Amino acid sequence: MTTILFTNAKVFTGNNTTFETMDFMADTESGRFVRQETAIAEQTIDLKGKYVMPGLINAHTHIMLDPFFKIGGLSSVSTAETGAVVNTYIAAHNLNKLLKHGVTYLRDVGSSDNIDLQLSKLEKENKITAPGIIGSGPALVMTGGHGVELGWESDGVDEIRKNARTNIKNGARNIKVMATGGVSMDGETPDDVQLSVEEMRAAVDEAHHKGYTACAHAQGTEGIKNAIRAGVDSIEHGIYLDDEAMQMMLDTNTYLVPTLMAPWAISQHLDELPDFMVKKSLAVQEAHIESIGRAAKAGIPIAMGTDAGTAYNDFENGSAQELELLVNAGLTPLQALQSASVRAAELLKINDFAGSIESGKLADFIVIEENPLEDITAVQGDKVVYKKGRKVE
């Protein structure tokens, strides 16, 4: 066991509103922060006035996707062509990228072959060094629906319920449902209503029965409302939020995971992607940004997520870039930092052991050079990452 005392740090714990000068201590054996008065430091690291914040939590990833892989002109979906072995290699590579760039916990919301669930188990057993993972297994989609490449085609309440139960049996701690169409598939739009309220409610009930969460890919207005009516814990994307949808979210404490990086990444590669994807992405981008800004102003809880793995949406600095996009959309820098720490931890139901810098929680944190409350892009700069009290090399 090595107990490390970190001194002379300016710390955003997740619970305070500014960076405060303080010392803190981590135990590398338990991987937790410990109280200074109850432990003896075996090593001291002087942080010399640098800024410390909780490790980033990314609530929307697809770790087994290669965002630069091209099959038939569609760069975001390739799993059927690559197969389970290659997909596992890609996922491990992506996890390494995420961790080195400050993401210490994540939720995966669509995987095949239970790759996310198996990697989650290995990380919990300390057999791999990676971000912690809340896995979902395959998303539940209607036959031919959005995300079918990373999903389980399910029609009707009974089939949805059976498949949700199977996912949970296999280790899922979140159930993902598809309420609407989307941008990345041809022949559908973000406004298309897909799974019904009753179908989604069956999945939500199974997740909540076990104390787990459920989230919905929901972009169009009616699909968003259907997902809220079904009782999901979070709306993913939330492109077309109207006043009624936002009030419903406030009334039910439904979280929003914006994933602004997904359309932004497409906009940087217009000449390299299919016309259908480009046209849909450009059509939704302004409304998406406006919806997120209005949601933040209304007080809807927001958790950071990037949709990493979709077209050109990478696993390196994307999480830090998402924070900049959130601020540009209307969040304050404090709201942005909270979205990637305490708010995300609350949504994922890991807030009893992660998401903030305090005694007893995982010693997951990053050290940066500048104050992100003054300039949110500071999180994109050079950083030192600690996972469970150990420096990530």
Condensed to tens digits (0 to 9), the pLDDT of residues 334-357 reads 999 999 999 999 999 999 999 999
- Residues ≥6 apart with Cβ < 8 Å to 190: 180, 181, 182, 183, 219, 220, 237, 239, 240, 280, 284
Condensed to tens digits (0 to 9), the pLDDT of residues 113-132 reads 999 999 999 999 999 999 99
Per DSSP, the three-state class of 140 is strand
Is the model's pLDDT at 92 over the cut of 90?
A: yes
Q: Residue 213 is which amino acid?
A: T
Is the model's pLDDT at 235 over the cut of 70?
A: yes
Rounded Cα–Cα distance for residues 188 and 230 (Å): 22
Q: How far is CA 61 from the centre of its chain?
A: 5
Strand order in the sheet with 151-153: 151-153, 139-141, 174-178, 213-218, 234-237, 255-257
Q: Which tokens hold the place of 49?
A: 């006035």
Segment 203-225 mean pLDDT? 98
Task: Decide: 49 and 58 in contact? Cβ < 8 Å.
Answer: no
Is the model's pLDDT at 72 over the cut of 90?
A: no
Rounded Cα–Cα distance for residues 360 and 112 (Å): 34
Task: Decide: 108 and 133 in contact? Cβ < 8 Å.
Answer: yes
Mean pLDDT of the residues in the chain: 95
Condensed to tens digits (0 to 9), the pLDDT of residues 353-365 reads 999 999 999 999 9
pTM, two decimals, is 0.96
Rounded Cα–Cα distance for residues 12 and 74 (Å): 40
pLDDT at 321: 98
Q: Which tokens hold the place of 196?
A: 């019904």
Q: How, if at all, do strands 383-387 and 365-368 pair?
A: antiparallel
Condensed to tens digits (0 to 9), the pLDDT of residues 151-200 reads 999 999 999 999 999 999 999 999 999 999 999 888 899 999 999 999 99
For residue 74, what pLDDT band results from cuts at 50, 70 and 90? very low
- Residues ≥6 apart with Cβ < 8 Å to 372: 51, 53, 323, 333, 336, 337, 378, 379
Residues in the chain: 393
Task: Decide: 54 and 365 in contact? Cβ < 8 Å.
Answer: yes
For residue 71, what pLDDT band results from cuts at 50, 70 and 90? very low
In the chain, pLDDT over 70 holds for what percent of residues? 96
